[in-house]
Structure 1
Amino acid sequence: MSTGTYDKQWLTELEATLTEEFEAQSARLTQLTADTGDPTEAHTNAAMIAAARQSLEQISGALRRLTAGRYGNCERCGTAIPRERLEILPHARFCVPCQEKQNR
């Protein structure tokens, strides 16, 4: 299944939402990496930086799949990921059965 199977308006809105989220996470990462000079916040900051980087990676992957026309295809088995799953988790790379196998 290619992105052509999904409603074009939905895909356009999704791309805009993902782009906005990417920009927000980029700004957050910039703020987090600014040196506050407070060593007591170092551990918390490191965790938040890691989370922001992971979020950026997931969002950019979803945007790449959209551009390439592969968005919505499970990367493991190739079947269509249900739109409902993508609405909840727009950066999903796997269908539910394959995600469960991935988590084992």
Structure 2
Amino acid sequence: MSLDHRTVDQGWLADLRASLADDFATQTARLRELTELNADTGDPGEAHNQAALLAAARRNIEQITGALGRISDGTYGLCERCRKSIPAERLEVLPHARFCVPCQEKQNK
């Protein structure tokens, strides 16, 4: 089943927007916490772990922000490459998906 942009359930989009906003707040708090704890312990392994956690939090915030922007501008659920609808099942699992599966596979190559 694909997301039909002409008949999108506005309640579903509102719930998704609220969920993404909650995720954004959580990730922002996590990023703030990680940044504040960015004390150098002298352990290279710990520094590497800290850097990876910071990068993951930033990436999550970027993905959430992108999804919220696409909801706002009416392009949510459209593949950024082929402009076809991304299946609703994919969006349920990966709400920040920017590409349909075939285009994502091409993007990863």
Q: Which residue of 2 aligns with 1:10?
A: 12
How many Å apart are 1:37 and its aligned residue? Answer: 4.0
Q: Distance in 1 between matches of 2:4 and 2:69?
A: 13
| TM-score in terms of structure 2 length | 0.89
Q: Distance in 1 between matches of 2:95 and 2:29?
A: 20
The answer to whether the aligner puts 1:87 opposite 2:92 as a matched pair is yes
Gaps of 5+ in 2: none
Aligned length: 104
Q: Which residue of 1 aligns with 2:22?
A: 20
Cα deviation, 1:12-36, whole Å, max 9, x if unaligned, reads 0000000000000000000001133
Q: Which has the higher helix share?
A: 1
Secondary structure (helix, strand or coil) at the match of 2:76 reads coil
Cα deviation, 1:27-86, whole Å, max 9, x if unaligned, reads 000000113342322211100000000000000000000000110000000000011100
CA contact (8 A) 1:2 1:69 kept: no
1:78 counterpart (79, 83, 87): 83
- The root-mean-square deviation of aligned C-alpha atoms, in Å, is 1.5
Q: Distance in 2 between matches of 1:73 and 1:79?
A: 6
2:102 counterpart (83, 97, 104): 97
How many Å apart are 1:4 and its aligned residue? Answer: 4.5
Gaps of 5+ in 1: none
Secondary structure (helix, strand or coil) at the match of 1:5 reads coil
- Percentage of pairs with the same residue: 56
* Runs of 4+ with >4 A deviation: 1-4
